[in-house]
A and B are shown apart, each in its own frame.
Chain A
Amino acid sequence: GQNIDQPTEMTATEGAIVQINCTYQTSGFNGLFWYQQHAGEAPTFLSYNVLDGLEEKGRFSSFLSRSKGYSYLLLKELQMKDSASYLCAVTDGAGNMLTFGGGTRLMVKP
């Protein structure tokens, strides 16, 4: 089975940097996704990590350590529109299913 842990809520200030962590224990693993979900909307894709290391995409970066079962999403130069839930999800060994964590609700304050 899969077990994925993320903090439930975080608060940060506009213009700052925030790191959202995700730890996982899985029976099989192919890769890890991060999705963003604004309240009342559908999740949208942010990043996909398969190999260890940091992947940067504009203001957002995602890191993966397969040996530690750990990932983080780094958001720089926070904007008010970044207030949303951030969902960590891992693919199973067969690659047929995604298992999501409970999501981290980020509130950005002025």
Chain B
Amino acid sequence: DAGITQSPRHKVTETGTPVTLRCHQTENHRYMYWYRQDPGHGLRLIHYSYGVKDTDKGEVSDGYSVSRSKTEDFLLTLESATSSQTSVYFCAISESNSQETQYFGPGTRLLVL
């Protein structure tokens, strides 16, 4: 199994508070991705990174920001959480671009009250 961890695994927070989710990999893969998964919508890409300090927006990036200061870490920040951001968040990695297999972390369940 690819070495991917996510923290925290579960979080409950209140509307308007900032939240940061962390994805950590030990595979030295270049690409990292953040997805959210909601019933009826499947997995949707939020942001992705193609190298240190190189990031780009995905399908549902509004309300989210990311940072990648090291190869192994990719952070997802909700600057001011809203109830619509209640979801399961998955991090994924791939050796190069999306034509390579993506390996997923265990997920973070976020509840915004």
Binding site for B on A (CB under 8 A): 30-31, 33, 41-45, 48, 50, 87, 89, 91-92, 94-103
Contact = CB atoms under 8 A, between A and B. Distances in A.
Interface of B: 33, 35, 40-45, 48, 50, 56, 58-59, 90, 97-99, 101-107
A31 B99 contact: yes
A43 B98 contact: no
Contacts, number: 57
Chain A contact residues: helix, strand, loop or mixed: loop
Contacts of A91: 97-99
A101 B42 contact: yes
A92 B98 contact: yes
A15 B22 CA distance: 41
Nearest to B103: A45
Given A42-B90, A42-B107, A99 B101 contact: no
